[in-house]
Amino acid sequence: MKSGKNFYTNILNSLSLIFAVSKKEVRQLKRDYRLLFVIFFFPVFLLVIFGYAINFDVRHIKLAVYDQEKSDLSRELINSLKNSEYFDIVAYLNSINESDKTLDEKSAQCVLVIPKDFSRKIFSRQNVTLQFLIDGVDGNTASIIKNYVSMATVDMSNNISQNAYARLGAKSYQPIDVEPIFWYNPSLQTTRFLVPGLISMILLITSVISISLTLVREKERGTQEQLNVSQLNSFELLIGKIIPYLVIAFINAGFILIASYILFDVEVKGSFAELFFTTLLFLFASASLGIFISVISDSQQIAFTLGTFSSLLPSFILSGFIFPIDNMPLAVQILTNITPAKFFIVILRNIILKGVGIESFFMQIVYLMIFALIFITLSIISSKKKLKSL
């Protein structure tokens, strides 16, 4: 019975010590108005900047036209492109030499060349070749423009075929009709795809950097020695330091979700309970990385540099936020496991965009737990070693 009482007494004492450390950290935060402003303002600011700046949707392509025929049919083709939301006619050229100058000066991204015999070949049921000269410096944009002009010309070709059949008094016949249906993101807006990645990246950066400064701040203020000689063990100290920032980061997560809905019309399709649990787990994993950086750093400058380097670059490049991990070499795919954002992005896209259950991302939860356990363990070991060396 005594051992049982002692066990519960030790747990209560440990919890009271953790609460005392958290209370002390909250009081310090209240005095630091600049840090509070950054913690609460910076995440939403980043969401707005990145959300509007990073956009792979290509609209209003600058198109120049060299119409060698100038017939009713060629004008119909030009108008069909002009009336779409994808093309803006910026110039009408008088010679093929002008197309080189137009592309060189970036006055246009694409030049349409309509041949002299455009109408004659169509009315005589011959194949016609339309030439599109595309600026290929940006390969991604060039590929998108190529797809757009291909779709536009296919639509034009179908219209011409239907008109030809109508003149003959026959119905047009298409043996195969393709009807693509896009799930989860019907409008194919890249913002909807990027917002979950933005949320994970912003939460990771803010939580890692803010937490990485906590223990270092104690060292620079000279209060670390008082903590070392107190009843606190390394685990209680680290957990007590993490809790206030976890609460703040969780509030930020709510702000970011609200801002995402208002600004980008991104709503949560899945379970809010699962979103709550996985976000809390991700923040704990991020906090464990921040605490480890704080333990091994000797100054706030070093902690800030390490926190930025370990959170910003991996979450932007290696998390699957923008660049698909499956397309990376095997060695780089293994390296992507250094950031918890990789696992949380998968979870967010499943919950927010797809609305699926925990069975679809269960392994990601396991990976986050392993990540948090590794860095909390490393932090405790490093903290004990530093205490012994004093």
pLDDT, tens digit (0-9, with 9 covering 90-100), for 78-120: 888 888 778 888 989 888 888 888 888 888 889 988 888 888 8
Per-residue model confidence (pLDDT) at position 131 = 86
Helices in 168-266 by DSSP H: which ranges? 190-212, 214-221, 224-228, 234-264
Let me know: does 259 contact 45? Beta carbons within 8 Å: no
pLDDT at residue 163 tops 70? no
Between 18 and 161, name the one with better pLDDT: 18
Distance, CA of 29 to CA of 43 (rounded, Å) = 17
pLDDT at residue 315 tops 80? yes
Tell me phi and psi for residue 4, to 5 degrees. -65, -40
Contacts of 5-13 with CB under 8 Å at 24 or more apart are 13/231
- One-letter amino acid of 188: L
Structure-block tokens of residue 190: 């890249």
Distance, CA of 209 to CA of 315 (rounded, Å) = 13
Taking only the tens place, the pLDDT of each residue in 272-310 is 999 999 998 998 898 889 888 888 888 888 888 888 888
Contacts of 121-128 with CB under 8 Å at 24 or more apart are 122/73, 122/160, 125/164
Taking only the tens place, the pLDDT of each residue in 123-153 is 777 777 888 888 888 777 788 888 888 877 7
Q: Of 164-173, 334-343, 355-364, 379-388, give the lowest mean pLDDT range.
A: 164-173
Tell me phi and psi for residue 172, to 5 degrees. -70, 150
Distance, CA of 211 to CA of 74 (rounded, Å) = 64
Distance, CA of 74 to CA of 33 (rounded, Å) = 65
The helix/strand/coil state of 45 is helix
The fold adopted by the segment(s) 61-167 is abc type-2 transporter like fold (3.40.1710)
Let me know: does 147 contact 87? Beta carbons within 8 Å: no
Per-residue model confidence (pLDDT) at position 179 = 61
What are the residue ranges spanned by the domains of the chain? 22-54+189-389, 61-167
